[in-house]
Amino acid sequence: MVIKWTGKVSTALINTTPHQIWPLFKDFFNIHKYFPTLSNSYGVHGINGEVGCIRLCLGSSIPSTESRDTKINSGEVVSWCKERLIAVDEVNMSLSYEIVDSNIGFNSYVSTVRINQSGDDQKDEGCMIEWNFSVDPVEGLRFEDLMEKYEVGLQRMVKAMEDSLGK
């Protein structure tokens, strides 16, 4: 029996409401606009934001495990993964997705992103983004290093999202 790596990272946004951030996450095919290590992402199946749709993400954060790596024009190695949206909860502002194919060594990967209101007063600005994941151990990568990638990635993503909203 394989013991899964499970992790959770979160960050607070002071001047941004959940209703401002949620549409940016739900724009499933365009996550590259906010995620710093993705050079591109786009839909390869289904309708953006609907359960069952699949996006292809291209980037460089996690190295490829293939012996014949995909190259881009500059000769840089491109890591890729296909991710399927498996759940969307509009009321609780959460979505879950799984990796269905990749060249980065992720097997049995499932992730959930949840946007929560900060504080008790629903009128207050501010929200919390939580990103949970579960994956089989990844060959050539330590769990601690993966957690650091998620923490740094979420911090940079939040900054890019806030910048796009003029915050």
Which long-range CB contacts under 8 A does 73-82 form with residues at least 24 apart?
A: 78/39, 79/103, 79/104, 80/56, 80/104, 81/56, 81/57, 81/106, 82/44, 82/54, 82/55, 82/56, 82/57
Percent of the chain with pLDDT over 70: 84
Annotation marks residue 34 as catalytic: no
Q: 132, 150 in Cβ contact below 8 A?
A: no
pLDDT per residue over 75-120, tens digit each? 566 789 999 999 999 999 999 999 999 998 899 999 999 999 876 5
pTM of the predicted model as reported, rounded to 2 decimal places: 0.87
**Cα(129)–Cα(124) distance, rounded to whole angstroms?**
16
The residue from 34, 42, 66, 83 that is catalytic is 83
Query: At a CB cut-off of 8 Å and minimum separation 6, what does 154 contact?
Result: 9, 10, 11, 129, 131
pLDDT per residue over 11-68, tens digit each? 999 889 999 999 999 999 999 999 888 889 999 999 999 999 999 999 876 665 554 4
The pLDDT, as a whole number, for residue 36 is 82
The residue from 97, 98, 109, 162 that is catalytic is 97
Annotation marks residue 42 as catalytic: no
Instruction: Show the domains of the chain with their CATH numbers.
Output: 5-164 (3.30.530.20)
